[in-house]
């Protein structure tokens, strides 16, 4: 009896979690198209992120790691490269911001 109630509770929780995630995504998309002028910077940032990921994937090798296919290895290498690029851009922007604030 208790296992049945726990299973029902888990399924209800999964359903509500999925509903919450779906509604958050759909409301975000609805408001983005409702006010497209304010969404342009976010879309540009998303586009830059996609370009960085595709560039990182294209320059990474598909030399297989142990227990991984060449495709998975290339995605792992691309992810590591993209992470390094984003960390470098973050550090550069932090230094630039501090220098800009100093001379302002």
Q: How confident is the model at residue 12 (pLDDT cuts 50, 70, 90)?
A: very high
What long-range pairs does 95-98 form, CB within 8 A, spacing at least 24?
none
pTM of the model: 0.70
pLDDT at 5: 83
Long-range contacts of 73-79 (CB under 8 A, 24+ apart): 78/53
Highest mean pLDDT among 30-34, 69-73, 97-101: 97-101
> Residue 1 has what pLDDT?
65
The arithmetic mean of pLDDT across residues 69-96, rounded, is 95
The Cα–Cα gap between 62 and 12 comes to 42
């Amino acid at each position: 009896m208790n296992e049945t109630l726990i299973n029902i509770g888990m399924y209800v929780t999964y359903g509500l979690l999925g509903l919450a995630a779906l509604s958050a995504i759909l409301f975000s998309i609805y408001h983005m198209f409702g006010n497209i002028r304010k969404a342009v910077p976010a879309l540009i940032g998303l586009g830059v992120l996609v370009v960085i990921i595709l560039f990182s994937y294209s320059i990474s090798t598909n030399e297989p790691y142990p227990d991984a296919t060449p495709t998975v290895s290339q995605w792992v290498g691309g992810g590591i490269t993209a992470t390094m690029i984003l960390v470098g851009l973050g550090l550069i922007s932090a230094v630039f911001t501090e220098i800009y604030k100093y001379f302002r």
